[in-house]
Amino acid sequence: MPLKNILVHVDNSAQAAGTIAAACGLARAHNAHLTGVTVERPPQVPGYAAIELPTSALDVIKAQQAESIAQARAIFEKTVEKTGLSSQSGWSLAKGFTLEALALRSRYADLTVIAQETASTTDSGLVDDLVMTSGRPVLVIPYIGAPPNIGRSILIAWNASRESARAVADAMPLMERAESVEVLAVEPEGLGDTPGADIAAHLARHGIKVQANSTRGLDIDVGDVILNRVADSGADLVVMGAYGHSRMRELVLGGATRHILAHMTVPVLLSH
């Protein structure tokens, strides 16, 4: 199924314009409609404080949030206009808690675009939770920005899991337009004599230019292997399944998903 409806999460952070620009590039390339969405959350006031909080203080909190929303919308509309997508874009204001509101909206889109989290991110853990709950692919844009044409050279981090198979299927519209696709199997125990060859053959039958490679016996983190390969190959997009193990296990023992989200240098499409 082609990308025809793209959702981008918008805030008023320093990263917002770059994230929106990346979403605009995809919308233009795929002739898709782009919707910018921000979330109007309930005032974050502890219950014990709300009892004694004067109405004037709540008004200040609401005014500050309204200003943040107005700034986010202005960034979206300016970026969309600059990229010439005003006629195929729209603005949406969701109300509620950020994760629930964004996850619901993402279920009506082919792809949701969101910024990589940083130390200053307001909704910590939003990317992780959105990937796990939305049921749709999520494209994470690095805080340093993205190349103008995402998906010319794609690297698939493949381990034959349910999550990686889902990611490959979700990324098919992007891979069909790519100039090159590489399947990389890291420490591919149990994947046969030529790891990645089966999924590469599947993609080739869809007319995708693909090659399969694998690495074994490396004493470095899987996430670092993937990032090193990105640097060596010039890939501009990583496709991978998210959280094949529980997030708690990844938090305690480390894991490729968490490592990539923390150190990503190019956009990453995640599916769970």
Residue-level pLDDT at 55: 65
* 210-215/237-241 β-pairing: unpaired
pLDDT 10s digits, 18-54: 999 999 999 999 999 999 999 998 876 555 555 566 6
Please say whether the dihedral angle defined by the alpha carbons of residues 270, 118, 79 and 35, taken in this order, is positive or negative: positive
Q: Torsion angle, CA of 242/245/247/252, rounded to 10 degrees?
A: -130
pLDDT higher than threshold 70 for residue 259: yes
d(CA 130, CA 125): 9
- Residue 112 near residue 170 (C-beta atoms within 8 A): no
pLDDT higher than threshold 60 for residue 103: yes
d(CA 186, CA 182): 13
pLDDT 10s digits, 157-210: 998 889 999 999 999 999 999 999 999 998 766 556 677 889 999 999 999 999
> What domains are defined for the chain?
5-141 (3.40.50.620), 153-271 (3.40.50.620)
Q: Please give the model's pTM, rounded to 2 decimal places.
A: 0.90
